[in-house]
Amino acid sequence: MTVIEVKDLRKTYGRTRAVDGVSFTVAQGETFGVLGHNGAGKTTTVECLSGLRRPDSGTVRVLGQDPARRRRALAQRIGVQLQEGELPDRLRVAEAMRLFAALYDRPDDWRAVLRRWDLGPIAAKAYGDLSGGQKQRLKLALALVGGPELVVLDELTTGLDPVARRETWTLVGDLKAAGTTVVLVSHYLDEAEELCDRVAVFGRGRIVALGSPRELTGRTGTESLEDAYLALAAEEGR
């Protein structure tokens, strides 16, 4: 089953073509990586998927629906963790879980989600008192409390120490094992190589390469996704 279908997506801001003819699909249960430098078009693309931006042209279908027109309906089926999303410092972990669960018609038991993501011991702590890893774990739990069919994770591990990053990778692996479709936006090539079934490499508003990490390393004759990315970036620069 196809969960996401994007055809010839275009979005312009003034004279800047943020997204210039992007097309791709994401299958059910797939972990799909979106890679690229700042300004490459990946964030705008993901915002169009989430219904936060309306495309200038092209088509976007998420779970068979247009997110620009059916944002409220899709919000019940999609979990989104945005890089810049923050909570009030004084809001407690359990309060945040209960509040977010109330936004959904048929949420999962927020207490069970709290335990599943090992947040029980810090349920009474205020958001401002959490470590970086704890905050990311809470954000992920909040994105999942609605029992979504699709989860969008934007720069999930930015700013985390190596131990917290590895712990977060395990959480994403658990999502994959449960059959949840994941769109992962990341600057970290090792992260994408570890977690993603396929990746789309963005450059100048277009997808310059699309395939599994192994396919991209094979195409460029490199040994790692990081080296493949650098080779693709050099090709794009020419």
Give the full edge-to-edge strand order of the sheet including 16-27: 16-27, 2-13, 57-62
Condensed to tens digits (0 to 9), the pLDDT of residues 32-50 reads: 999 988 888 998 999 999 9
73 and 161 inside one domain: yes
Q: What is the pLDDT of residue 237?
A: 60
Q: What is the pLDDT of residue 238?
A: 43
128 and 93 inside one domain: yes
Q: Does residue 126 contact residue 92 with C-beta atoms inside 8 Å?
A: yes
Determine, yes or no, domain membership for 136: yes
Whole-prediction pTM value? 0.89
Q: What is the pLDDT of residue 84?
A: 64
Q: What is the CATH number of the domain that holds 18?
A: 3.40.50.300
Whole domain around residue 37: which residue ranges?
1-77+151-211
136 and 196 inside one domain: no
Distance of CA 111 to the CA centre of its chain: 24
If one counts the domains in the chain, the total is 2
Condensed to tens digits (0 to 9), the pLDDT of residues 51-68 reads: 989 999 999 999 999 999
- Could you give the CA distance from residue 63 to residue 110 in angstroms, rounded to a whole number? 24
pLDDT < 70 stretches in the chain: 83-85, 236-238
70 and 163 inside one domain: yes
